């Protein structure tokens, strides 16, 4: 018997939308936040889905997220713009920034937008997919609060800042890469804690620097960089491009959205959109992408593997499945969402 309760994507989206409206978020912005959250759930990225709502709403009630930012691009060069997020929802500022980068790329071949004074923007792949839908290649960077030591260090300093990139495909699926520079995203420990589960050994250390499978102990400690110095280097790169370069907080100063309630987060983002036919004809680009992906898939399979999947394919398959079966939530997650609904005076999430 399943321990999960399921909600359709439409119901999850409507639920998030009405919660945000009740707290004064404009209709269009509420729709953007709801869409991004549910997209993460549909793709199986439950760490960045609807269960993030209680934390966001608490910061919104405290004035640490601006419900109604007035966003405008400060054009620095014909291809580059800067955006002051005014501490609005990261989903809203990121979607706005990527839309501008795409528009500029249509004219000049490439568009770049940096964002300062933003907040957590959820699943980075959401903005890569936004670019792919517009027929664009893209790169998306963000920085984050302290969670991981630099290689050779013994206390959390770097964020688990995701690196995302995408490129449209031809006849085959697009390339969609979204990865944290840590062994596992910190959100996986939060998810395990909510669900009463253990985390794999090697994900994190407790506050005393000991490996742990207890998600609560992991959240009190630190996650580990993937591949040692390589993961550490990627995290530093995110802080350079999204933090230093944008004018946002950096170097351990981005505040933790779950622990710091005396100031906004001041997260920084970096968005790049590029026309795939900038250097080769569009038909040639698509054919070359198909050739690359076909060659990858045709590599002899290692023991235990039936197929070779490309970045983004597991999530796309999960999305197709969940669009049919609904999004699974455990009882504790539904209870937390229902508590938010009661607090806001709106209808609860409908599950089956």
Q: How many CB atoms lie within 10 A of CB 259?
A: 9
Q: How confident is the prediction for the chain on average, in pLDDT?
A: 95
**φ and ψ at residue 62, rounded to 5 degrees:** -85, -5
DSSP secondary structure code for residue 241 in this structure: I
How are beta strands 80-84 and 110-118 bridged, if at all?
parallel
Alpha-carbon gap, residue 126 to 318, rounded angstroms:
15
Q: In the numeric block, which tokens belong to residue 63?
A: 């004035």
Question: Would you give per-residue pLDDT tens digits along the chain (352 residues)?
Answer: 458 899 999 999 999 999 999 999 999 999 999 999 999 999 999 999 999 999 999 999 999 999 999 999 999 999 999 999 999 999 999 999 999 999 999 999 999 999 999 999 999 999 999 999 999 999 999 999 999 999 988 889 999 999 999 999 999 999 999 999 998 777 788 888 878 889 888 888 888 888 899 989 988 888 888 988 999 999 999 999 999 999 999 999 999 999 999 999 999 999 999 999 999 999 999 999 999 999 999 999 999 999 999 999 999 999 999 999 999 999 999 999 999 999 999 999 999 9
pLDDT of residue 2: 53
- Please choose, from the candidates 139, 176, 146, the residue with its C-alpha nearest in 3D space to the C-alpha of residue 161: 146
Alpha-carbon gap, residue 267 to 247, rounded angstroms:
10
pLDDT of residue 221: 85
Residues near 170 by beta carbon (within 8 Å), at least 6 away in sequence: 285, 286, 287, 289, 290
DSSP secondary structure code for residue 242 in this structure: I
- 225, 231 Cβ separation under 8 angstroms: yes
Alpha-carbon gap, residue 199 to 193, rounded angstroms:
9
pLDDT of residue 318: 98
The neighbouring-strand residues paired with 75 are: 81
Whole-model pTM: value is 0.94
Alpha-carbon gap, residue 73 to 149, rounded angstroms:
34
């Amino acid at each position: 018997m399943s321990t999960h309760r399921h909600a359709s994507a439409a119901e999850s989206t409507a639920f998030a939308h009405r919660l945000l409206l009740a707290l004064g978020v404009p209709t269009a912005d509420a729709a953007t936040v709801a869409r991004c959250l549910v997209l993460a759930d549909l793709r199986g990225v439950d760490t960045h889905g609807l269960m993030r709502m209680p934390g966001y709403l608490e910061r919104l009630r405290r004035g640490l997220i601006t419900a109604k930012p007035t966003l405008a691009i400060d054009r620095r060069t014909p291809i580059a713009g800067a955006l002051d997020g005014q501490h609005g929802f990261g989903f809203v500022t990121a979607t706005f920034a990527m839309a501008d980068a795409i528009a500029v790329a249509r004219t000049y071949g490439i568009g770049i937008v940096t964002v300062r004074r933003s907040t957590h923007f959820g699943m980075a792949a959401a903005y890569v997919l936004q670019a792919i839908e517009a027929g664009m290649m893209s790169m998306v960077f963000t920085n984050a609060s302290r969670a991981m030591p630099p290689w050779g260090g013994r206390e959390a300093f770097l964020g688990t800042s995701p690196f995302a990139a995408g490129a449209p495909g031809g006849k085959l699926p697009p390339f969609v890469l979204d990865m944290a520079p840590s062994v596992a995203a910190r959100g996986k420990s939060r998810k395990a804690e909510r669900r009463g589960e253990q985390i794999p050994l090697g994900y994190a250390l407790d506050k005393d620097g000991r490996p742990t499978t207890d998600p609560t102990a992991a959240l009190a400690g630190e996650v580990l960089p993937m591949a040692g110095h390589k993961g550490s280097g990627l995290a530093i790169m995110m802080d350079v491009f999204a933090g230093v370069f944008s004018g946002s907080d950096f170097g351990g100063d981005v505040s933790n959205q779950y622990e710091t309630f005396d100031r906004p987060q001041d997260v920084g983002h970096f968005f790049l959109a590029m026309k795939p036919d900038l250097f080769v004809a569009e038909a040639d680009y698509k054919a070359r992408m198909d050739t690359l992906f076909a060659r990858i898939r045709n590599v002899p399979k290692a023991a235990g593997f039936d197929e070779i999947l490309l970045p983004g394919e597991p999530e796309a398959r999960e999305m197709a499945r969940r669009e049919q079966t609904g999004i699974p939530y455990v009882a504790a997650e539904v209870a937390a969402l229902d508590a938010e609904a009661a607090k806001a005076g709106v209808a609860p999430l409908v599950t089956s």
